[in-house]
A and B are shown apart, each in its own frame.
Chain A
Amino acid sequence: MTDLLTDPRRRLRRTATVVSLALLCGCATSTVVLLPEEDGRQTSISVKQGGTEVILEQPYAAARANALGPRAYVATPEDVQAKFAPALAAQPARATTFTLYFIEGKDEFTEESRQDVDRILSEIAKRPVPDVLVVGHTDAVGNDQTNDALGQQRAETVRAALMKLGIPADDIRAISRGKRALAVPTPDGVAEPRNRRVVILVR
């Protein structure tokens, strides 16, 4: 009978297990660093590993998750650059936002907004592969259903106008937020010209 401890096959298997465990531990490392916000807003990320959670809330708060569990630390801008410069350099340009205003209850622009269209076209021309999101908003007069439809109608008006100006249909999407995202907070039912708008995101 073979001795269990000295059986070469068992020894091999045990070695293999140790090696693969080591590889597993060596490989599975993740690092997370929270970055400062452009406009200084509050920001936060939770990092969960198994049953343990680390919450990052300050700029450069960081966590490293490896075989020992997630550990919080403070990173430096230099650490971030050293490791993430190529990823950060590939970040797409942020959307540029324009707002056009409408005459109450209608899908017609105010005179001023009609003149803003040129600025939108030049921003679209600047982008290598532009896509345009047109978001219709209403004021707080009327119910959600009516306002969702009116917001959509306003967005479609802008989309059609952009298409007429030569922007391909495939590159423009029209959506409505109805009265869910008032620019100027008002009680329900209040007519507010600054809320009757279409926001155009050029990306």
Chain B
Amino acid sequence: MSLPSSHYRSPTSSLILLRNGLVATLLFACAALGNAAEIGQVKVSRGQVTIERQGKSSPATVGMRLQTSDFVRTGVDGSVGITMDDDSLLSAGPNSELSLDRYTLNSTTNQGRFDSSLNKGTLAVISGRIAKQSPDAMTVRTPNAILGVRGTEFVVSAND
């Protein structure tokens, strides 16, 4: 007895299909997580700039996507410009250390929270939708002060 080959599916090929399905689902899930975790992008990078993530340090290249807890460090000749997902613009001058501590945003309601820290150096900020929606939902910490951002353009230095 023979079946038309196009209708016949061996148990093995079903398993392969199932496995491929699982792989696809996993990949999709990872991609979705990856996107959710992206909170901003490096738009400008000059001189020495590094991003530290989970203990690993890599050069900050233009176009690099950022995640919560990323630590941005600029060298003597370095400067970096970041556009956050809520349209906040952060840019740091030389010898700076900036940490993106906490970032949440409901893109439908614009409710969210954005906390960052400038450990040292200089930072220029234009706040975005998070601060516009809820005053005090955006803060910048320095080693000895907390800035509550109600809008919108300012500069801050730490340990100068």
A54-76 vs B, Cβ < 8 Å mask (1 yes, 0 no): 00100000010110001000000
B44 to chain A minimum Cβ distance, whole angstroms, is: 5
Are the C-beta atoms of B93 and A90 separated by less than 8 Å?
yes
Contacts of A88 in B (CB 8 A): 91, 124, 155
Q: Chain B interface residue count: which class?
A: 35 or more
Q: Give which listed residue, A38, A84, A128, contacts B157 with CB less than 8 A.
A: A84
Contacts of B109 in A (CB 8 A): 180
Instruction: Report the Cα distance A91→B84, complex, angstroms.
Output: 12
Instruction: Report the Cα distance A70→B157, complex, angstroms.
Output: 14
Instruction: Report the Cα distance A48→B157, complex, angstroms.
Output: 15
Are the C-beta atoms of B80 and A90 separated by less than 8 Å?
yes
A14-58 vs B, Cβ < 8 Å mask (1 yes, 0 no): 000000000000011111111111100111111111000000100
Are the C-beta atoms of A178 and B108 separated by less than 8 Å?
yes
- In the complex formed, the residue of B with least CB distance to A28 is B144
Instruction: Report the Cα distance A4→B46, complex, angstroms.
Output: 56
Q: List 10 A-B contacts (CB under 8 A).
A: A28-B143, A30-B158, A33-B155, A34-B154, A35-B153, A43-B150, A48-B147, A90-B92, A128-B43, A203-B87
Q: Which residues of B contact A (CB under 8 A)?
A: 35, 41-44, 46, 62-63, 79-83, 85, 87, 89, 91-94, 96, 107-110, 122-124, 126, 136, 142-160
Q: Which residues of A contact B (CB under 8 A)?
A: 27-38, 41-49, 56, 63, 65-66, 70, 80, 83-95, 128-129, 131, 133, 148, 173, 175-178, 180, 201, 203
